[in-house]
Structure 1
């Protein structure tokens, strides 16, 4: 990127940090920065050429209008992303493709059959989903559970492994089977299969195994053999 593009990106970063710095839902600026760094790495490993400024703007702005943070009405309009790019003086054509990418990123959108079509959007999407899994993903899921209802593991409450889009975080509320451990089966263990690029698939494979190892150990230490069996059956069903 040239000096002007770097300057524009720095303005966008500053605005994002101001907007998301106090978030407690797992979408704070530290998450966004990790996603941007990972998306940049994926871009460098990708066999196809891609506009790095588009990749980084998509990654940095992908959560500024998340429906869990701003509500579904504003989320659909991408108000914050539009404003930030205007303040950073991003060209209209680049702004439009970044908005197109952002509008298609997110697990709930994938449940509805929507996904990014541009390579930059695919790279940012893979980076975003990778940050939800692995060791950091476990930390984020546990933090979220502790701050929203507090259910960690209830051996009597089995996950809804076929959670539909309208049930997943409907209207910002948790669903009946939601909880830290159940979240692995309802979402996190599925993400490996949703990667759109080769770099994303390679990274997701490693992070997926970290979660599997954690769950196997967790159920063993919890003396929950029925959950160990459930895990192995579940893994067979998604592989």
Structure 2
């Protein structure tokens, strides 16, 4: 398959995600693809087409972003078939998309990912942390009407999938402790772990500064 195939995948993903207002828009998709492509240089054994296709499409069928995941999945299948992806390739892409989300780690239902999926998952998690991660967390929280911070509300631990999706009483700052700060240690590849170190420190520095300013210490 040629670069024309990836261009078609790019255009399809853009048509689905360009109007997103939760921090999962096409700008996010492009960064995940860019990070995945960067990670691929360290893992030449990974299939580049499958990796980047999954990176482009990973949010198109996400339950938190679409109202009918079955219809969205069928549309993706039709698109992939129309662009000559084999049944085996399609199954690999869907395996990645269906098992890379953070919530899958909460209920233990995630299936093992191939190297291509590990790279996409790492790229997606890298875009959830660091300076970009801070901005996206604030943007997501504002979209859903979350409070920025409430010192009286402790971060949740050992959440179920349902509890994770329940934003009632959730605060943006708690989301760092409940998810974002845990992602560094969940990276699959050594290359992603190296990139995550700096982004982790950016978030820790932000939280320290935020709480000092919240208490009028600075």
Aligned to 1:70: 66
- Which of the residues 74, 81, 86 maps onto 1:86? 81
Alignment pair present for 1:20 and 2:17? yes
Map 1:228-239; keep pairs closer than 5 Å: none
Aligned to 2:5: 8
Aligned to 2:95: 100
Map 1:46-61; keep pairs closer than 5 Å: 46=43, 49-61=45-57
How far residue 155 of structure 1 moved from its aligned partner, in angstroms, is 1.9
Aligned to 2:185: 193
TM-score by length of 1: 0.84
Aligned to 1:175: 168
Contact 2:106 2:159 survives alignment (8 Å): no
Contact 2:61 2:69 survives alignment (8 Å): no
Alignment pair present for 1:29 and 2:26? yes
CA distance in structure 1 between the partners assigned to 2:100 and 2:168 by the alignment:
22
TM-score by length of 2: 0.92
Aligned length: 216
Note the aligned Cα RMSD (angstroms).
Answer: 1.9
Contact 1:167 1:175 survives alignment (8 Å): no
Tell me the secondary structure at the aligned position of residue 41 of structure 2. Answer: helix
Higher relative contact order (CA closer than 8 Å, sequence separation 6+): 2
How far residue 224 of structure 1 moved from its aligned partner, in angstroms, is 7.8
Aligned to 2:210: 218
Aligned to 2:104: 109
The worse-fitting range, judged by mean Cα deviation, of 79-88 and 196-205 is: 79-88
How far residue 19 of structure 1 moved from its aligned partner, in angstroms, is 0.8
CA distance in structure 1 between the partners assigned to 2:13 and 2:50 by the alignment:
16
